[in-house]
Amino acid sequence: MAVITAGRLENGGAAVRLHNLRRTFDDLVVINRLTLDIRAGEFLAILGPSGCGKSTLLRLIARLVEPTTGTVEVTPADLKFHTAYVFQDAHLLPWRTVLENTVLPLELMGTDTAESAARARAALAEVGLAEAEVRYPAQLSGGMRMRVSLARALVTQPKLLLLDEPFAALDEITRFRLDIRLRELWLERGMTVIFVTHSITEAAFLADRAVVLTRKGGGIKMDRRLALPEIRRNELRASPEFGREMEALLAAMEEES
Ligand SMILES: Nc1ncnc2c1ncn2[C@@H]1O[C@H](COP(=O)(O)OP(=O)(O)OP(=O)(O)O)[C@@H](O)[C@H]1O
Ligand SMILES: [Mg+2]
Domain ranges of the chain: 15-82+160-256, 94-157
Question: Quick check: CB of 56 below 6 Å from ligand 1?
Answer: yes
Ramachandran sector of residue 217 (left: φ over 0; alpha: ψ -120 to 50; beta: rest): left
With respect to CATH, is domain 15-82+160-256 assigned 3.40.50.300? yes
SS3 content of the chain, % helix, strand, coil (to 5): 40, 25, 35
Q: Across the beta sheet with 28-38, what order do the strands follow?
A: 28-38, 15-25, 69-75
pLDDT the model gives residue 254: 87
Cβ neighbors of 33 (< 8 A, separation 6 or more) are 20, 21, 22, 70, 218, 219
The residue contributing the CA closest to ligand 1 atom 16 is: 53
SS3 55: helix
The CA distance from 155 to 84, in Å, is 9
Extract the runs of DSSP E, i.e. beta strands, from 139-219: 160-164, 192-197, 209-213
pLDDT the model gives residue 257: 66
Cα–ligand 1 centroid distance for 186 (angstroms): 28
Q: What pTM value is reported for the model?
A: 0.93
The residue contributing the CA closest to ligand 1 atom 23 is: 51
pLDDT the model gives residue 2: 34
DSSP 7: P
pLDDT the model gives residue 119: 94
Cα–ligand 2 centroid distance for 55 (angstroms): 4
pLDDT the model gives residue 82: 85
Question: Quick check: CB of 21 below 6 Å from ligand 1?
Answer: no
The CA distance from 84 to 74, in Å, is 13
Does position 120 have pLDDT exceeding 90, yes or no?
yes
Whether the CB-CB separation of 28 and 210 falls below 8 Å is answered with no
Whether the CB-CB separation of 21 and 60 falls below 8 Å is answered with yes
Cα–ligand 2 centroid distance for 245 (angstroms): 23
Helices (H), 155-195: 172-189
pLDDT the model gives residue 79: 58
Question: Quick check: CB of 95 below 6 Å from ligand 1?
Answer: no
- Determine the atom of ligand 1 nearest the C-alpha atom of 196: 22
